[in-house]
Amino acid sequence: MPDFSHLYSINATHMKASTIRELLKLTQKPDIISFAGGLPAPDVFPVEDLRVAANAVFDGPARKALQYGTTEGDDGLRNEIIKFEAKQGVTIAKENLLVVSASQQALDIVAKLFLNPDDYVIAGRPTYLGALQAIQSYSAKVLGVPFSPAQDGFDMDELRRRYAEAKAAGKKLKYVYVIPDFQNPAGFCWSLEKRKALLEFAYETGLPILEDSPYREIRFIGEAIPSIYELDQKGANKGVVINLKTFSKILAPGTRIGWIMADPALIAKCVVAKQAMDLCTNVFTQMWLAEYMKTGKLYGVIESTREKYRVKRNLMVEALRRYMPARDDLSWTEPEGGLFLWVTLPASIDTEKLLLKAVEKKVAFVAGSGFYIDEPEHNSMRLNFSYSTHEQIEEGIKRLAEVVKEALAASGD
């Protein structure tokens, strides 16, 4: 076996395998009830309508769909995305839009464009693991900001305090990463007030905001709040927000298609970066999704996804209320959208250790520590409610509560 270790880049030494993805392999045994993944419910995928759309590509522009495409993305798909965004109140032109191989590629592109080794990205504590991986893969770091007790966005005082401290220490800050709508992992949704405050912070500091919105359309309770991208656009319109969208949660992740919306000059930079990464996004799939979007049926799929996830979220919340010990230091978020909720356990419990006990009892979750780069909290867990069946949610939370009770008893807590 060759030893290339002396040849690897500094970046390579900073890349970390996702412990979540490694754990997923362990928890994919058929008899385990897993709340660990982040998978959409497969029964929402509109298989037959997608088949019709794929066959329309074979009937029509098949040879174009099988050929190389432009880095910017298929024109037909870009037109459909522009209409989709317009319906939600966001007006974009083609020059604001880049089709990407789903959001993770967008996270990679933005990280590559902005980050030198030891630069900092401001991000929530906790935040999406894939964003952390992209940042680390360029040897950059995260300045973590806690959320306010109301869980409606960053603690803005802490943001300003930590920003000032970092600047004073000579740290190079490059952008602010947020998932305002039903964030992964905790399900937090930013209030209008906090979105405006963050935009104001961006205007003051000159830092762009990377707004990741994979779950934005999956709101099942309450009214939509404008995205930060939209707030900027309809306000001072300074173009400081980079907004990431994807078909992964509103249609089907196996298609690996997403899009970046941003200022045209930044999109042009993203195009150059993407060229060296994969030349262009899967052309057939782009034309296939364009055909599907033309039918207008995506809106029905989103509506039915919301309905299904609302029921599952309610089932999980009710099961938590029913089975978990009632204590002031044991709580969970009750999100208005998305795929995840976040359980905070008494401080005596380490959820990484708890997971081993849970897997013995045939139930799995993700330990919260994976969603922090620095000083992780050890007493939290992420639960996914989109993928499991109703029966699995009931039975799985019951098992999980037993594991928690046993751990509390064992620690004498």
Q: Interface residues for a second copy in 93-122 (CB under 8 A)?
A: 101-102, 104-105, 107-108, 112-116, 119
Contact 260, 212 (CB under 8 A): no
Six-digit token string for 159: 């943001």
Please choose, out of 66-74, 83-91, 157-165, 314-322, the segment that lies near a second copy by the rule CB under 8 A.
66-74
Q: Is 45 in the site for a second copy (CB under 8 A)?
A: yes
Among 19, 62, 151, 166, the residue binding a second copy under the rule CB under 8 A is 62
- Is the Cα dihedral 90, 96, 100, 105 positive or negative? negative
Contact 97, 82 (CB under 8 A): yes
d(Cα 45, Cα 295) in Å, to the nearest integer? 15
The candidate with the shortest Cα–Cα distance to 280, out of 296, 297, 304, 256, is 256
The candidate with the shortest Cα–Cα distance to 83, out of 72, 68, 94, 71, is 94
Among 34, 71, 183, 243, the residue binding a second copy under the rule CB under 8 A is 71
Q: Is 246 in the site for a second copy (CB under 8 A)?
A: no
Q: Is 8 in the site for a second copy (CB under 8 A)?
A: yes
Using CB under 8 A as the binding rule, the residues of this chain from 268 to 327 that contact a second copy are 269, 271-273, 275-285
Show Cβ contacts of residue 190 under 8 Å, excluding neighbours closer than 6 positions: 152, 153, 178, 180, 181, 198, 225
CB closer to a second copy, 279 vs 409: 279
Q: Is 26 in the site for a second copy (CB under 8 A)?
A: no
Local structure of 220: helix, strand or coil: coil
Among 26, 43, 300, 329, the residue binding a second copy under the rule CB under 8 A is 43
Pairing of strands 340-344, 380-384: antiparallel
CB closer to a second copy, 18 vs 411: 18
Local structure of 210: helix, strand or coil: strand
Among 10, 93, 168, 169, the residue binding a second copy under the rule CB under 8 A is 10
CB closer to a second copy, 321 vs 390: 390
Please choose, out of 53-61, 79-87, 156-164, 190-198, the segment that lies near a second copy by the rule CB under 8 A.
53-61
Please choose, out of 32-40, 82-90, 316-324, 404-412, the segment that lies near a second copy by the rule CB under 8 A.
32-40
Q: Is 163 in the site for a second copy (CB under 8 A)?
A: no
